[in-house]
Amino acid sequence: MESLRAVWLGLIQGLTEFLPVSSSGHLVIGETLLGGVGEGILFEVAVHVGTLGAILLFYRARIFELIGGVLRRDASALRYAAKLVVATLPAVAVGLLLKDTVEAAFDNPALVGVALLGTGAILLTTKRTVHTGTLEEPSWGQALGIGFAQALAIVPGISRSGTTVAAGMALGLAPMAATEFSFLMAVAAISGAAILALPDAQAASPEVVRACLIGGAVALASGLAALWLFVRLLRDRRFHLFAWYAFAAGASFLAYLALAG
């Protein structure tokens, strides 16, 4: 993978990870338009680790608060942290049991186009729920429900941020509470994916490792900018407008694939 290609794909990942348009789907689209296949799941994980760094920086105050509370055995911090763990379990199960199927999905561009249309439908539901949610913390059952939404988003083209935030608001969470839970939940999910990819990293060539490092660094920088924009748009209650972009992207990509044969 050339360095310029790694920069481009890292930029796509960083800008789309936190906007509800599916970063993994856009990576597949970018790889398809650039020609050939990408570096596979290892590069996908590398750029996701870059955006993990963006989450840690953006939510550093809340993360330090939770860590401090857990170390002090504060009941509320322990409860919130445990709910994050519960919400992560469905994605972990899918990642372990369906690893080969998940990897194969990244080699199916048509699936991405269809999944983006599904993302658009999910985002449209937030036009109503963004006004109705009031809860500041999910219940145990709600946390698990958000976790199942995250597991669904393993499919490239289904937005993780869009699906989990939409699920949180549908279950009664206030918009910013749903957003915080979604992105803090991503810390464990992305970290788990990175651990699963370690065997592949040990066998990777120097060229692939260099591409992963470049892509990850670009994803971190652009991810910070995208995360700030995401939060601002949600506060302005314009989250559902991304549905029309997802519809357009999915339909356009499917049309491109049909014309390209």
* pTM across the whole model: 0.84
Note down the domain range covering 146.
3-260
The full length of the chain comes to: 261
Half-sphere exposure of 58 (CA within 13 A, CB side): 25
Domain total in the chain: 1
Task: Report residue 25 as tokens.
Answer: 């789907």
pLDDT in tens, the chain (261 residues): 578 888 888 888 788 878 898 878 887 887 788 765 555 667 777 888 888 899 999 999 999 999 999 999 999 999 999 999 999 999 888 878 877 787 777 778 899 999 999 999 999 999 999 888 899 999 999 999 999 999 998 888 999 999 999 999 999 999 999 999 999 988 876 777 667 666 666 666 777 778 888 988 999 999 999 998 888 888 888 889 999 999 999 999 999 999 986
